[in-house]
Amino acid sequence: MIVGNRKSMEEILEMVKPYKKVLLLGCRECITVCAAGGEREVGVLASELKLSRAKDGQEIEIKEFTLERQCDFEYIDQIKPFVDEYEVIVSMACGAGIQYTAERFPKKPVFPAINTTFLGVTLEQGLWAERCQGCGECILHLTGGVCPVARCAKSLFNGPCGGSSGGKCEVSKETDCAWQMIIDKLKALGQLEKYEEIIGVKDWSTSRDGGPRKRVREDLRLQ
């Protein structure tokens, strides 16, 4: 899932400072699962905004609304009937949802309440960790299912480096060395011969280096 963090109250308050009518928009997808921008978090932020304004003797009207997704226009368009009643939209979706909402309503300011951080997994309730960087060319079949792009601090393709010690990365004692994990996993799978093969230079043009990406499935397109 896409994992995000809510921005600080200070930052959000500064963004909405000039506005009195705010549409606070949550998303029921990834950002709900990582407990950053779902219906509950929309409710909490709305309360905080109201309390802060009330304390300063300032008026604010907030409509709380949580969409099924903010990355599909069919859902975003559900706010069409009432969006004009509000001066600003504060989105609690990931960066993709925030931008798509802004694209659908070009005359409306759309502000982010979330810092989108990574593609990851839930390790346990309340704890999420990065697993993928969407590089566009997966090599997990070569590395025992452990991604060196996302999980090695240097994104090394042939590791470990000299900073690996006792299975930990020199970046932090909390961080497992991805290449130690790869070796351990290949050993467990009986595929250690894969470790001896040098992985060639990665073509980063499939990643962000190639600019913004699109995916097309012509058979699904309606036009």
Partner 1 sequence: MLKAFESGADGIYIAGCLEGECHFLKGNLRARKRMLYLRKLLAEVGIEPERADMYNLSSAQGQRFAAIATEMTEKVRALGPSPIKKGQSAFKA
Which stretches of the chain bind partner 1, using CB under 8 A? 8-10, 43-44, 47-48, 50-59
Least distance in angstroms from the C-beta of 92 to partner 1 = 15
Any idea what DSSP says for residue 165? B
Question: Six-digit token pair at 106?
Answer: 């070009």
Q: What is the number of alpha carbons within 13 Å of residue 57 lying toward its C-beta?
A: 0
Q: What is the amino acid identity at position 174?
A: E
- Is 47 or 205 the residue whose CB approaches partner 1 more closely? 47
Q: How far is the CB of 52 from partner 1 (least distance, A)?
A: 4
| Closer by beta carbon to partner 1, 13 or else 119 | 13
Least CB distance to partner 1 at residue 55 (A): 4
Q: Count H helices, E strands: the chain?
A: 9, 9
* 58 vs 165, beta carbon nearer partner 1: 58
Cα 136 to chain centroid, rounded: 17
Total residue count of the chain as it appears in this document = 223
Q: How far is the CB of 205 from partner 1 (least distance, A)?
A: 43
Half-sphere exposure of 106 (CA within 13 A, CB side): 0
Nearest residue (CB) to partner 1, 51 versus 139:
51
Cα(107)–Cα(89) distance, integer angstroms:
11
Q: How far is the CB of 25 from partner 1 (least distance, A)?
A: 19
Complex with partner 1: residue 53 or 151, whichever CB lies closer: 53
